[in-house]
Chains A and B, each alone.
Chain A
């Protein structure tokens, strides 16, 4: 069946450095790829998304890149700050309502 692999499961970076999280999907028909952030004890919230007709999208310190040929997409966070500490989930849409999710990456920002 369809799946999304997310790496790494845990990422620890120094405050101010960049963080990169990668996801690989299996369904070549996937056309929408969101990223959600879940802080400890809180609800997941959409932080950025990208569609298959775009290769890159930026929003301030956050960017997402998509390589359709290789079927992978990545989240880039620059100039990391303590409030970036959270679990990040990637997903790929395989139908009108079905998102296949990655297992999550715990991002730790070291002061």
Chain B
């Protein structure tokens, strides 16, 4: 499959669970992102990685822990989440961070429900 792939598509977890979201891009891009999408709210940037190095942690609570082992894979580790963390979590990639390479390619997202 080409593009950006996210798994799982749906996830239900209790507040004491630990789970991980996975993202893989097959586009040869250097930058990867995690976004949170809540209903009727702007997309919220959570984390940015460029060449595997984290360049942004947008004041995200520590219960969200990102991991980027290489330029093609991105994980979001979740633990002790709160009900307000329920949302669609979108992964995206771009050629790079600079001008001309900023077009974002999104995955289909993981719909997370925290009970």
Contacts and interface: CB of A to CB of B under 8 A. Distances in A.
Interface in B1-53: 4, 31, 33, 40-43, 45, 48, 50
Contacts of B55: 97
Chain B facing A: main interface SS: loop
B61 interface: no
Interface residues of A, number: 25
A89 B106 CA distance: 13
Contacts, number: 53
Given A43-B109, A45-B106, A49-B103, A97 B41 contact: no
A100 interface: yes
B58 to A, nearest CB: 8
Instruction: Specify which of A4, A34, A91, A96 lies most central, judged by the most chain B CB atoms within 10 Å of its CB.
Output: A96
Interface string A11-39: 00000000000000000000110101000
A43 B108 contact: yes
A42 B41 CA distance: 17
A100 B42 CA distance: 8
A104 B44 CA distance: 13
Contacts of A101: 42-43
Contact of A99 (B31, B45, B99, B106): B45
B31 A44 contact: no
A9 B108 contact: no
A52 to B, nearest CB: 11
Given A9-B40, A97-B102, 14 more contacts: A4-B42, A32-B102, A34-B104, A51-B99, A89-B43, A91-B43, A97-B31, A97-B48, A97-B55, A99-B104, A100-B42, A101-B42, A101-B43, A103-B41
13 contacts: A9-B40, A32-B99, A34-B103, A43-B90, A43-B108, A43-B109, A49-B103, A51-B99, A96-B97, A98-B45, A100-B42, A102-B42, A104-B42
| Top 6 A-B pairs, shortest CB-CB distance | A101-B42, A43-B106, A101-B43, A96-B97, A97-B97, A97-B48
